[in-house]
């Protein structure tokens, strides 16, 4: 595994749409492992999307304290309700804002072995799914903020 450099808000790659991964192979698994190590090393991140390490690939890692989730080509297939949340981002250090996210989301993706999986998250996990999948579409949480807050 290797640490990767986290791309910051002024880098144009964060505004581009990521491409679908065609084959889940050892190279993709290595990228996912590197992304996880990078996220954990950052200290306060719950998720990381490939564009945040300079790669336009539909890859996401998330750990909300229940273990590492690795997603290839994730997409939200269902969302329910809404919740008011506060978010930050490793690519936008020390900036936090309030926004509205779905209270519950269902995500379809491939796992690190190329197998199709469906996951449902509520609360903070739903928020994290939305935040990271937005990164794959070139959307930053600051695009959705209703009010900035100090933390």
DSSP letters along 8-46, please?
PTT-GGGGSPPBPPS---HHHHHHHHHHHHHHHHHSS-S
pLDDT tens for 94-134 read: 999 999 999 999 999 999 999 999 999 999 999 999 999 99
Write out the binding residues for Fe cation.
Answer: 89, 131, 135
Q: What is the pLDDT at residue 52? A: 98
Annotated active-site residue 112? The verdict is: no
**Residue 45, pLDDT score:** 86
Please report the domains of the chain, with CATH numbers, ordered by start residue.
12-149 (3.90.45.10)
Residue 1 confidence (pLDDT) above 80 = no
Return the closest-CA partner of residue 149 out of 97, 112, 107.
97
- pLDDT of 43 reads 86
pLDDT at 35: 98
pLDDT of residue 21: 98
Write the pLDDT tens digit of every residue in 68-95. 999 999 999 999 999 999 999 999 999 9
Span 47-58, average pLDDT: 98
Q: What is the pLDDT of residues 5-16, one digit of tens each?
A: 999 999 999 999
Asked whether the beta carbons of 79 and 65 are under 8 A apart, the reply is: no
pLDDT at 108: 98
Here the tokens at position 23 are: 């084959």
Kindly name the residue from 115, 132, 137, 147 that is annotated as catalytic.
132
Q: pLDDT (tens digit, 9 = 90+) per residue, 12-31?
A: 999 999 999 999 999 999 99
**pLDDT value at 44 more than 90:** no
pTM higher than 0.85 for the full model? yes
Binding residues: 89, 131, 135
């Amino acid at each position: 595994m290797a640490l990767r450099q986290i791309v910051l808000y002024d880098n144009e790659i964060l505004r581009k749409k990521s491409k679908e991964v065609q084959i889940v192979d050892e190279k993709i698994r290595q990228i996912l492992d590197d992304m996880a190590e990078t996220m954990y090393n950052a200290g306060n991140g719950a998720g990381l999307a490939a564009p945040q390490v300079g790669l336009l690939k539909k890859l996401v890692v998330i750990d909300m304290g229940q273990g590492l989730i690795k997603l290839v080509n994730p997409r939200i297939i269902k969302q329910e309700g809404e919740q008011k949340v506060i978010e930050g981002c490793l690519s936008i250090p020390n900036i936090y804002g309030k926004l509205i996210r779905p209270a519950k989301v269902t995500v379809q993706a491939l796992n690190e072995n190329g197998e199709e999986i469906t996951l449902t998250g509520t609360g903070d996990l739903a928020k994290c799914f939305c935040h990271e999948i937005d990164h794959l579409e070139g959307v930053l949480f600051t695009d959705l903020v209703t009010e900035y807050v100090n933390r």
